[in-house]
Amino acid sequence: MNPTKEFDIIVWGASGFTGRLVAAYLFKQYGTQGDLKWAMAGRNQEKLTAVRAEVADSSVPIVVADSNDEASLKAMILRTKVVCTTVGPYVTYGSKLVAACITYGAHYCDLAGEVQWMRQMIDKHHEEAQANGVKIVHTCGFDSIPSDMGVYFTQKEALAQKGQRAKRIRMRVAGMRGGLSGGTYASLSKVLEEAMQDKEIYKVLVNPYGLNPTDKQEGGDHPDLQKVIFDPTSKSWIGPFIMAGINTKVVRRSNALSGYAYGNDFRYDEATMSGKGFKGRMKGIMSALPLILMTAKQGSILKRVANRMFPKPGEGPTKDQRENGFYSLRFYATLEDGSTALGKVTGDKDPGYGSTSKMLGEAAVCLAKDSLPEISGILTPSTAMGDALLDRLEKHAGLTFSFK
């Protein structure tokens, strides 16, 4: 990576809802007069200027580019070490940008949760990115940094404190406040819509190892939980977690890319805790409702209800809702000797926007400024950035990690 580039980071899509939050975070945390050189970018100079006036000041450079014009993308990418993009759905707007970053030499991070598109990027570009020394890192928001880094941290502490790895980890969402973002709903709906029309995409979605290297797609994990059951591990009723279909595949890819650091027999799953007794069971059933609505067929009554219920792209929680949101995740680990341990990850803002914008911002800074593992390709947060990202998340992004 060329150390003399004009910018460390370009935030692509900075005039969008999430993009402006990332820009606001970088300006508040790092300003423009320090060591970090960054810019706001998008297609429309007027919109970018207006957003800059809201979230920063005129000291933040603006870069105008056209995502459909390779020459325009090339000119932008040659100016920066890292492209940080919030422009989704990525299956629609991300492919040319990924290809250009690999060709012209810039690391890349995004908020993609579109499993079928991520599979396409792996198949098309992993080897080329390796050859060019470029890190392409998807899922740098609530999906899937807390899950991926939570497992990474739990395994690291299990080895350090217990002298053995965890052969199985069950992640349970213990608490969460904050609405689903419109962009996340649009992306998930797009994934499910395409899966209903394309058997190959469907196979990727239902395969627990669908993001693993093609020769490493076997293991003991089953498809993600789709019903409400009582979980002896957490002593609670549990139901489906809407992000599990993305997070679990990312964690398994991390294991494969790390040379099976968690073990060839490592197993992982995710679910949402809903409490004990009859009340807990009913709460679990209600928590499964968004997933039912989201998977409804296009044009159906249920889908029309979902489209009215969920926010549209660019919509999301208010500032107060973002500030007062939180999440708490528990990582129930079974170690090699059968003993147990518990990892915890908490976030201090709503998951969809408040925390996600800080996580993505720190991932971009990490890629630009830190000493990182010598690995390139289509990566995961933990394999691309490891301890350096863990440190940034705790120091700056409002996440806490604990183990006992």
CA gap 71, 57 in Å, rounded: 29
The whole-number pLDDT of residue 391 equals: 98
* pTM over cut 0.85: yes
At residue 198, does pLDDT exceed 90?
no
Going by C-beta distance under 8 Å and a sequence separation of 6 or more, which residues neighbour residue 255? 261, 262, 263, 266
Q: Is 58 exposed, middle or buried (0-12, 13-18, 19+ CB in 10 A)?
A: exposed
Beta carbons of 77 and 105 less than 8 angstroms apart: yes
Query: Mean per-residue pLDDT for 23-47?
Result: 97
136-165 pLDDT per residue, tens: 999 999 999 999 999 999 999 999 999 999
- Residue 1 has a pLDDT of 64
Alpha helices in 11-83 (DSSP H): 17-30, 45-55, 70-77
Q: What is the mean pLDDT of the chain?
A: 93
What is the gyration radius of the CA atoms in the chain, in angstroms? 20
Average pLDDT over residues 267-282: 96
Q: How far apart are CA 46 and CA 202, in angstroms?
A: 41
Please give the pLDDT value at position 180.
65
User: Counting runs of H as helices and runs of E as strands, what totals does the chain give?
Assistant: 16, 14
Q: DSSP string of 236-302?
A: EEEE--TTHHHHHHHHHHHHHHTTSTT-TT-EEEEEEEEESHHHHHHHHHHHTHHHHHHTSPTTSHH
Helix-, strand-, coil-residue percentages of the chain, each rounded to 5: 45, 20, 35
Q: Residue 44: its pLDDT value, please?
A: 95
Which pLDDT score, from 0 to 100, does residue 314 have?
65
Mean pLDDT computed over 302-326: 76
Query: Quick check: 11 and 38 in contact, CB under 8 A?
Result: yes
Min mean pLDDT across 256-265, 282-291, 371-380 is at: 282-291
Residues near 72 by beta carbon (within 8 Å), at least 6 away in sequence: 65, 66
Kindly tell me the burial class for residue 86, based on how many C-beta atoms sit within 10 Å of its own C-beta (0-12, 13-18, 19 or more): buried
2, pLDDT greater than 70: no
Q: Tell which residue, 400, 378, 403, 363, has the closest CA to residue 9.
A: 363
Please give the Cα distance from 32 to 14 (Å, whole number).
Answer: 16
DSSP-derived 3-state class of residue 171: strand
Is it the case that residue 130 has pLDDT exceeding 80?
Answer: yes
- Whether 297 has a pLDDT exceeding 80, the answer reads no
Mean pLDDT to the nearest integer, 279-293: 83
pLDDT tens figures, 333-346: 999 999 999 999 99
Quote the pLDDT of residue 181.
Answer: 67
- Is 90 exceeded by the pLDDT of residue 357? yes
Q: What would the mean pLDDT of 209-222 be, rounded to a whole number?
A: 92
Q: Looking at residue 200, what is its pLDDT?
A: 85
Identify which of 81, 69, 76 has the alpha carbon closest to the alpha carbon of residue 7. Answer: 81
What are residue 271's DSSP bridge partners? 172
What is residue 66's DSSP assignment? -
94 contact partners, CB below 8 Å, separation of at least 6 = 85, 87, 88, 110, 112, 117, 121
Q: Which range among 10-24, 40-54, 127-141, 214-228 shows the weakest confidence by mean pLDDT?
A: 214-228
Q: What are phi and psi of 283, to 5 degrees?
A: -65, -35
For residue 313, the model assigns a pLDDT of 67
pLDDT of residue 179: 66
Q: Could you give the percent of the chain with pLDDT greater than 70?
A: 96
- pLDDT per position as a tens digit, 85-118: 999 889 889 999 999 999 999 999 999 989 999 9
> How far is the CA of 226 from the CAs of 247, 270, 288, 330, in angstroms?
15, 11, 8, 20
Cβ atoms of 116 and 205 within 8 Å: the answer is yes
